[in-house]
Amino acid sequence: MTDALPRHMPARAREEVQRVRVVIADDERPARLFLESLLRSYEDVELLGSASNGTEAVELIEHHAPDLALLDLQMPELDGFGVVRLVRKKFQPLFAFVTAFDEYAVSAFESNAIDYLLKPIEPSRLRQTISRAHERLEHADYRHVEAARIKTVAGDIEKTLAPTGYLRRIPVRRRDDIIIVPVDDMATIVADGELLHITTITGERHAITYRLKDLELRLDPTRFVRLSRGALVAIDQIQKISPMPGATYMVTLKNKIQLPVSRIRARVLRDELLRL
């Protein structure tokens, strides 16, 4: 078990420590039970209840008015963002998201002081979340401040996902800022070691840490095509496809960037783009 408070703390002091009142929501039963078990091991936490979907979470929050709600982002029907939107202002607690989202969303949460927990949950990371909750609860006006900010930021992040689940925007960290790059503006994505270099149709360049194959899954396949193991391009930005020796091609984009097509991808390119 993980102790929430130092073992050397006197019994009276341990009893006087404020307990964070928590509810959780996760549609995956094993994950929910694991989180319940961790929270019950903390002496400074009072677990008020758990929900298996977003609708139950809203009811639970408005019934108990907890200090903190731990919400899975990806629940059917009503997800974590939906819960944030629907809980009435006077019942708004602190929110922390439990998520399997990529680091783009994580960076967005972190930069706006919204906490998150990546699955599988690490006990030490959950401990940090509870500690942050304690710090926020020390401010008497936290409910008003948190309600306004969390709703705004959650809405902004939610808009990065299209209704189909494909990305519409990619947050890119640049020093202390986050630049939002619309997917519509992207021309090429080229892998270089652990980095992906994004070039826009106007020639702007951005670098992100991500795996190309994972990003490809989150982009609309009718709009982007893979040219090789290390390159994706926007189909609408292709201006010319030139045959090369070895049954391959050279692709020229509207911004004059040229990228080679691997032999394996050349067959796919012929099937997808070069047939009427």
Q: 106-116 pLDDT, tens per residue? A: 544 543 335 77
- Assess whether 185 and 233 both reside in one domain: yes
Domain span at residue 128?
11-158
Q: Tally DSSP H helices, then E strands, for the chain.
A: 9, 15
CATH number (domain holding residue 209): 2.40.50.1020
Q: Which CATH number goes with the domain that contains 92?
A: 3.40.50.2300
Pair 239, 115 in one domain: no
Model confidence pLDDT, tens digit, residues 140-170:
555 555 555 555 555 555 555 544 567 788 8
Whether 183 and 128 map to the same domain: the answer is no
Higher pLDDT, 199 or 15: 199
Q: How many domains does the chain have?
A: 2
**Same domain, yes or no, for 37 and 139?**
yes
Task: List the beta strands (DSSP E) in 53-114.
Answer: 68-72, 94-99
The answer to whether residues 107 and 188 belong to one domain is: no
Contacts 24+ apart (CB under 8 A), 60-65: 60/23, 60/25, 61/23, 61/87, 61/91, 61/93, 62/87, 62/88, 62/91, 64/21, 64/23, 65/91, 65/93
And the tokens for 268?
A: 């796919």
